[in-house]
Amino acid sequence: MRILSIESSCDDSALAYTDGNNAKLLWHEKISQEDSHSCYGGVVPELASRLFARDLVQLLNNFKQKFSFSNISYIVVTNEPGLSTSLLEGVMMAKALSLSLKIPLLGINHLKGHIYSLFIESYKEIFPLCVLLVSGGHTMLIECYSYNDMRVVANTLDDSFGECYDKAAKMLGLGYPGGMIIDSLAKQALSENIAPVALPIPLINQNMQCFSFSGLKNAFRLQLEKMALKNLIQDSQLYDKNEYVNRIKNSIEAKALALGLQESATTHLIHKCKFYMKQNDHIKHFAIVGGASANSMLREKIQILTVQFHKTLLMSELRYCSDNAAMIGRAAIGKIRHENAMNTYKQINYGQLDSKKNTLPLNKIWHDKDTESKNFASNSSNSYAMQKLDTINLHTISHAHANSNDRNNQYNPLSLQISPRNTEIKTTF
C-alpha cells in the first residue's frame, strides 16, 4: 500500500509518499512561502493561492521523475481546517488525480496530521495520549485515545500562541513568521544576560482550563509604545514610533522585549498544562506538536514538567513540527487502519471526499466540571468566547497567522464537497 499525500492548509506546499505497510517515508518535498509573505507580516490568502497553484505542480512533477502513479493506493489531502483559498488548491489537485487515475481519495484533518507527526517513520501508535497543540492558528489540549477518538479539553479564548509571536514580530518590524524570530532574539538575550521586559502571565490567578494570549499581545504593544515614547522625548532626531522600531531591530531593547514575551507566553502554557495534569492522572503519555512546538524554551520547560508529573514525553522532530505532507500521510495510515478494524467499508467514488465532518469534539463532561471557567465567562467579556468553546468544531478555525482582515475567510468543508464543476478535466498523467 502506497500513499501520496498533499498538504496546502496555509503557506507550505508539500507532497509526501509513504509506504502504508510499515509507515516508512519514501519521499517528501516542501516549498515554503515564508519569504513571499514576510514583508506583509502575515499570510496573504490571494498570494498564497497563486503560489500553491505554481508550487504544487512543481512538486508533482518532481514526484513523477522518481515514482510511478501506478503504484499509488490512496491519494490523501488536508481538507480542514485552514485558509479556504489554500485548501482549495490542494483539494482540487487531489480530486483531479483521483478522478484521472481511479485511485481512492481520503480527506485528513490538519490537526490530526500534527498529532500523527509524532509517529512519522513508525508504524506503532501510542494511545492514550494528551497533546498540547500549539501553532499559528491553534492552542489546545487534546486527549487522544485512537484515530477516531480525540477530544479537545482546553482551547484558547482568543488568540493562539503562534499568532501572538507573529504579531509581536510584526510590531518590531521583523517580518514573518514570528516564532523563530522572537525565539532567536530571546536566546540572544539569555546569552548576553539581558534582563527581560516584565510582561503579565495570562490567567495566572484563574483556575481555568483554557488559554488566552490577546492580553499578553496588547501588553507587548503597550511596552513597545512606552519605550518608543520615552526615546522620542530624549532623542530629538527621532520623529515617530516607526522610526524608533526601525532603529531598535536586533538591539538590546528588542531582545529584552522578545525574552519577556517568551517567558510569559511559555509560563502560561506550562501553568495550564500543570493545572490539567494535577486533575488528570489517567494518561501517562504527554506530547507537544504543531509549528510553535519548535520553540526552544517551551520544549525545555515541558520536559521539566513531564518529569515532575512522571509522564512520558513525546515530541515531533523539529523538521516535522511545521506543516508538512509526511504527517498527513502518516495520519492516513491511522485512518485506514481504524476503518479496516471497524469494518467500515465504503463504496469508492473517485474524486469525491467523504462528506462526514472530520472534527475533534469538545469534551463536554470535562468542561461541565469546570464551573470556575463558566462563572468567569458569564461575568466577563469572555462569555461569547466560552459559548463558542462549548460548540466548537475545528473545521471553522482558520489559521490565525493570516492577516487579521481575513479572519472571516474560514473554511467550510461543504464548499469542497460539492459536485465537480461542469468543465472538462484535462490531465497529462
Q: Looking at the structure, tell me whether residues 213 and 290 fall in a common domain.
A: yes
71 shares its domain with 192: no
In a domain, residue 363? The reply is: no
How far, CA to CA in Å, does 156 sit from each of 43, 106, 260, 289? Answer: 21, 29, 21, 16
Cell numbers 504527554: residue:
286
The domain boundary, picked from 342, 377, 412, lies at: 342
pLDDT digits (tens, 9 = 90+) for 71-90: 999 999 999 999 999 999 99
Instruction: Mark whether 18 and 147 lie in a shared domain.
Output: no
Same domain membership, residue 23 and residue 98? yes
Q: Which residues are annotated as part of the binding site? A: 110, 114, 133-137, 166, 179, 183, 295, 323
CB 211 within 8 A of CB 156: yes
| Residue-level pLDDT at 227 | 83
State how far the Cα of 178 lies from the Cα of 367, in Å rounded to an integer: 32
Specify binding-site residues for Fe cation: 110, 114, 323
Residues 270 and 201 in one domain: yes
Q: pTM of the predicted model, to two decimals?
A: 0.81
Residue 288 lies in a domain: yes
| Residues contributing to the annotated binding site for substrate | 133-137, 166, 179, 183, 295
Q: Is residue 178 part of a domain?
A: yes
C-alpha cell at 205: 490567578
**pLDDT band for position 229 (cuts 50, 70, 90):** confident
φ/ψ of residue 211, rounded to 5? -120, 160
- Give the pLDDT confidence score for residue 363 in this predicted structure: 53
Stretch 46-65: mean pLDDT, rounded? 96
Report the pLDDT averaged over residues 147-157: 95
Whether 190 is covered by a domain: the verdict is yes
Position 413 confidence tier, pLDDT thresholds 50, 70, 90: very low
Please report whether residue 370 resides in a domain: no
Residues 42 and 185 both lie in one domain = no
Instruction: Read off the pLDDT band of 423 (50, 70, 90).
Output: very low
Q: What pLDDT, in 10s, does the model give residues 253-275?
A: 999 999 999 999 999 999 999 99
Residue type for position 428: T
More confident call, 405 vs 259: 259
Mean pLDDT of 390-404: 33
Q: Is the pLDDT of residue 390 over 60?
A: no
Same domain flag for 70 and 99: yes
Per-residue pLDDT, 301? 98
Residue 341 grid cell: 478494524
On whether both 59 and 166 belong to a single domain, the answer is no
**Residues 23 and 169 both lie in one domain:** no
Tell me, what DSSP letter sits at residue 75? E
> What SS3 state is found at 284?
coil
Domain that holds residue 109: 2-120+322-342
pLDDT tens by residue, 102-146: 999 999 999 999 999 999 999 999 999 999 999 989 999 999 999
Whichever domain contains 42, its CATH number is: 3.30.420.40
Is residue 262 included in any domain, yes or no? yes
Bond before 200 cis per omega within 30 degrees: no
